[in-house]
Amino acid sequence: MADGGSPVTMSDVARLAGVSTATVSRVVNGRYGVSASTIAQVRSAIERLGYETSLVATSLRRSRTNVLGLVTHSFQSYTAEVLKGVMEALTQSGFDLIIYANSDVYGTYSEGWEQRHLTRLSGTLTDGCIVVTPWGEVRSSTPVVVIDPVRDSTAPSVTADNLGGATRVVEHLLGLGHRRIGFIAGRSSLAAAWSREEGYRTALAEAGVPVDPTLIGRGDFNPESAIPLARALLERPDRPTAIFAASDGMALKVLEVAKELGLGVPGDLSVVGFDNIPESALAEPGLTTVDQSMYRLGYEAARMLKSLVTGEWEGPRQILLPTRLLARGSTAPPRITTPQITTRA
Amino acid sequence: MADGGSPVTMSDVARLAGVSTATVSRVVNGRYGVSASTIAQVRSAIERLGYETSLVATSLRRSRTNVLGLVTHSFQSYTAEVLKGVMEALTQSGFDLIIYANSDVYGTYSEGWEQRHLTRLSGTLTDGCIVVTPWGEVRSSTPVVVIDPVRDSTAPSVTADNLGGATRVVEHLLGLGHRRIGFIAGRSSLAAAWSREEGYRTALAEAGVPVDPTLIGRGDFNPESAIPLARALLERPDRPTAIFAASDGMALKVLEVAKELGLGVPGDLSVVGFDNIPESALAEPGLTTVDQSMYRLGYEAARMLKSLVTGEWEGPRQILLPTRLLARGSTAPPRITTPQITTRA
DNA sequence: GTTGGAAACGTAACCGATAACGATTGCAAC
DNA sequence: GTTGCAATCGTTATCGGTTACGTTTCCAAC
């Protein structure tokens, strides 16, 4: 149970079976050149000792390990979704998965964590890695697929259609009659943040609504960062009738601030988020948001990495997955049109 | 970015710095016996080449790796909670974490998966492992802490107070006036399932309510398994006024079956679960359940394993964490007292 | 009986890093 | 000028498994 002595090695098996370790290795790996009787001997010795080949020793000697790695800086509920997708894609593929989390950087959003994790894994332990939401570009001696890459990255990646999703959000709000729409941006180095802001800007521009820079708050995807920004937007006399936050986490904080200021949602203020995290459906009212399937992000990333490792990848190296607007209770037509706007427009 | 050549090894650094690999090793590990100028040379070479020590080679040579392992057979939202707790306990501890998931067994609930994962990790890669909800006893050459162990396990473990939680559930229902309380059990090999059933039985016995074996359905924690059992309980003429399912997943299925049969909850039937998974708060009505903090389970398991590895663990090897009854909308007093009971009692 | 060749198996050199050990150097004490 | 002790650094065995290569065995063909 607890401690069952030292681990069984290949030489233990060899000794018991009366052969060399080379022969044991051949049997384990099913190679040619071992007589049937010897195979039986070795098999029985393996069985009796409960021997399992050491991942470490094998990966040191071989280049291929048939293990893929994944590095993430935190474990959220969406991380579990990603992992489900990854495992689904890897089922029965012969590739196992190792997730590495460094205790030094966990919780602290220190720059370069992804590179440190990656180097640690790609020594010889893994054949390739998936990196979730990195802070910067990464380099590795083995293939890497990035989920939610940084802006303008040329690395193989899987991303949700953030631009399209954000565009539909703004079109939805415009369709309801909103004209003063606030925006709370995410960490600008991430492609996702940039695309969502770009969608906000272009959708307004296409509708002939001028973009007011003072209606844009600079958040960083951290929910807390949205609080002062939401307060600033909502306390001004010409406050927006709707706020679009670049993530659900931030949008939920906007809801809290609105409640605190005595503003009814969606009566006095419409709020929209992005991501569709589980908590959003729970919110009161339900948060209108953009659904991006983290499951599919994980699935596609694993599928791509697998083929990249075996060298048989044919498709594009940058995948864009569709997003979907989920209209819930937090959005409605504005109650009154702000006077400043109607006179100026 | 993508493929940056072959990985940098220690001998590459040694060659560039003009020293032996032993000296590089000493510098990397901060050992005594290297002159300041040599240290500078080596440091600069490491910097220039972007060298990072290989986890594989180190763990093969050393016995200690300062890496802890965790094996789980699936990634659910509660798994993420456990992982958050584990990482919190490991932050700045010097121990990193590796999670291993085998593609052969994922999704399929094949027996012995935990042992196979464990052996693969404990070769020399990890100093110890956390095993989440295993199917049986596990053996390992390094310390193991089990979260939700099998029944009567003597291995070091962390468990929620399932007995107390289940007891309070039944007391809650009895207090509301229920006397015919159905129970849907979990997989009986797990200690958690057994304790929850035991709590159900003893709480009834203490209140002088006889336990009716026909009111107990044998599920296996798989939500689907509860459907026929709930149907059987609710379609009988003397159906129970309340059903206590040993997990939220199964309880939610009971809600569905009740709706399907036209039974109002909590009017016609009270339903209680166990676990407090996120979906339970979302249910209509909200599911009354027992909250067990998966976060704390992970936290305590990691704290214990850490000390077990360093050999400084003093406390008990089996930890019981408190649980808490969460009364939500799915429980209420029974509308009418079943005639059979009142006459018999 | 000899030879050829393939099958079967062992030997030893790795893979990258560590640590015990030995070798060299420098400096102070005698 | 020795001697002795640190300080500094290289050499080498080692971890467990894989594989190129060499050796032995065995059977068929001549």
Residue of B nearest to A125 (CA): B56
Residue B146 is predicted with a pLDDT of 95
Provide mean pLDDT across the span B239-261: 95
- Quickly give B124 CA vs D18 C1' distance in Å: 18
Residues A74, B97: C-beta atoms closer than 8 Å: no
**A156 and A140 in contact (C-beta within 8 Å)?**
no
Rounded percentage of chain A residues whose pLDDT exceeds 90: 60
Cβ partners under 8 Å of residue A214, min gap 6: none
**Measured between CB atoms, does B138 come within 8 Å of chain A?**
yes
Residues B3, A142: C-beta atoms closer than 8 Å: yes
* pLDDT classification of B338: cutoffs 50, 70, 90: very low
**B323 and B165 in contact (C-beta within 8 Å)?**
yes
Residue B109 is predicted with a pLDDT of 58
CA dihedral (A299, A303, A308, A314) positive or negative = negative
Amino acid at B139: R
Q: Which of B288, B231, B238 is nearest to B259 (CA)?
A: B231
| B50 compared with B176, residue with greater pLDDT | B176
| Paired tokens of A163 | 């631009």
Residue B218 is predicted with a pLDDT of 95
Segment among A153-162, B117-126, B189-198, B228-237 with least mean pLDDT = B117-126
Indicate if the pLDDT at residue A56 is higher than 70.
yes
Residue A190 is predicted with a pLDDT of 84
Q: Give the nucleotide with minimal C1' distance to the Cα of B35.
A: D8
* pLDDT classification of B345: cutoffs 50, 70, 90: very low
User: Taking the CB of residue B166, how many other CB atoms lie within 10 A of it?
Assistant: 28
Cβ partners under 8 Å of residue B25, min gap 6: B10, B31
Residue A228 is predicted with a pLDDT of 97
* pLDDT classification of B243: cutoffs 50, 70, 90: very high
**A242 and A334 in contact (C-beta within 8 Å)?**
yes
Provide mean pLDDT across the span B177-181: 96
Provide mean pLDDT across the span A246-275: 95
Distances (CA, A) of B93 to A103, A122, B67, B307: 7, 23, 11, 11
Would the Cβ of B342 be found within 7 angstroms of any atom in strand C?
A: no
CA distance A315 to chain B (A): 16
CA distance B108 to chain A (A): 9
Find and give the residue nearest to D14, measured CA to C1': B61
Instruction: Measure the CA–CA gap between A85 and B281, rounded to whole angstroms.
Output: 25
Sheet strand arrangement including B270-272: B216-218, B181-185, B242-245, B270-272
Three-state DSSP state, B44: helix
Residue of B66, B95, B103 to mutate, testing the A interface (most A Cβ within 10 Å of its Cβ): B103
Residues B80, A84: C-beta atoms closer than 8 Å: no
* pLDDT classification of A50: cutoffs 50, 70, 90: confident
* pLDDT classification of A342: cutoffs 50, 70, 90: very low
Indicate if the pLDDT at residue A337 is higher than 60.
no
- pLDDT tens for B209-230 read 999 999 999 998 889 999 999 9
Indicate if the pLDDT at residue A344 is higher than 50.
no
Indicate if the pLDDT at residue A141 is higher than 70.
yes
User: Taking the CB of residue B101, how many other CB atoms lie within 10 A of it?
Assistant: 24
Residues A98, B103: C-beta atoms closer than 8 Å: no
Give, rounded to a whole angstrom, the gap between the first and last alpha carbons of chain B.
77
Residue A338 is predicted with a pLDDT of 47
Would the Cβ of A60 be found within 7 angstroms of any atom in strand C?
A: yes
Indicate if the pLDDT at residue B1 is higher than 70.
no
Residue B341 is predicted with a pLDDT of 43
Residue A341 is predicted with a pLDDT of 43
**A196 and A246 in contact (C-beta within 8 Å)?**
yes
**A7 and B141 in contact (C-beta within 8 Å)?**
yes
Indicate if the pLDDT at residue B2 is higher than 50.
no
Residues of B in contact with A4 (CB under 8 A): 139-141
Residue B299 is predicted with a pLDDT of 97
Provide mean pLDDT across the span B22-41: 90
Indicate if the pLDDT at residue A248 is higher than 90.
yes
Residue B251 is predicted with a pLDDT of 96
Provide mean pLDDT across the span B83-94: 90
Residue B141 is predicted with a pLDDT of 83
| B109 compared with A44, residue with greater pLDDT | A44
Segment among A120-129, A183-192, B296-305 with least mean pLDDT = A120-129
Residue B94 is predicted with a pLDDT of 83
* pLDDT classification of A107: cutoffs 50, 70, 90: low
Q: Which of B277, B233, B247 is nearest to B185 (CA)?
A: B247
DSSP annotation of B124 reads T
Residue A110 is predicted with a pLDDT of 65
Residue B102 is predicted with a pLDDT of 76
Would the Cβ of B94 be found within 7 angstroms of any atom in strand D?
A: no
Residue of A51, A75, A287, A304 to mutate, testing the B interface (most B Cβ within 10 Å of its Cβ): A75
Provide mean pLDDT across the span B48-60: 88
- pLDDT tens for B100-154 read 887 766 655 567 778 878 887 877 788 899 999 888 888 888 899 999 988 888 9
Residue A45 is predicted with a pLDDT of 93
Would the Cβ of B61 be found within 7 angstroms of any atom in strand D?
A: yes
Indicate if the pLDDT at residue A223 is higher than 70.
yes
Indicate if the pLDDT at residue A330 is higher than 90.
yes
| A342 compared with B163, residue with greater pLDDT | B163
Residue A339 is predicted with a pLDDT of 45
Residue A168 is predicted with a pLDDT of 97
Round the average pLDDT of chain A to a whole number and report it.
Answer: 88
Residue A101 is predicted with a pLDDT of 81
Size of chain A in residues: 345
| Paired tokens of A195 | 């695309």
Would the Cβ of A340 be found within 7 angstroms of any atom in strand D?
A: no
* pLDDT classification of A136: cutoffs 50, 70, 90: confident
Distances (CA, A) of B112 to A10, A328, B34, B104, B196: 22, 45, 49, 12, 24
**A249 and A187 in contact (C-beta within 8 Å)?**
no
Round the average pLDDT of chain B to a whole number and report it.
Answer: 88
Residues of B in contact with A87 (CB under 8 A): 74-75, 101, 103, 106-107
Residue B272 is predicted with a pLDDT of 98
Nucleotides of D under 7 A from a protein CB: 7-12, 14-20
Task: Give the A window 90-129 contacts with B, CB below 8 Å.
Answer: 90-104, 106-107, 116, 119-125
- pLDDT tens for B153-162 read 899 999 999 9
Backbone torsion region of residue B110, taken as left when φ is above 0, otherwise alpha when ψ lies between -120 and 50, otherwise beta? beta
Find and give the residue nearest to D6, measured CA to C1': B33
Indicate if the pLDDT at residue B175 is higher than 70.
yes
Residues A6, B74: C-beta atoms closer than 8 Å: no
Residue A119 is predicted with a pLDDT of 79
Residue of A56, A96, A106, A114 to mutate, testing the B interface (most B Cβ within 10 Å of its Cβ): A56
Residues B55, A125: C-beta atoms closer than 8 Å: yes
Segment among A35-49, A89-103, A226-240, B22-36 with least mean pLDDT = A89-103
Q: Which of B116, B118, B241 is nearest to B177 (CA)?
A: B241
Rounded percentage of chain A residues whose pLDDT exceeds 70: 93
Cβ partners under 8 Å of residue B244, min gap 6: B166, B169, B170, B173, B181, B182, B183, B184, B200, B271, B272
DSSP annotation of B136 reads S
pTM score, whole prediction = 0.84
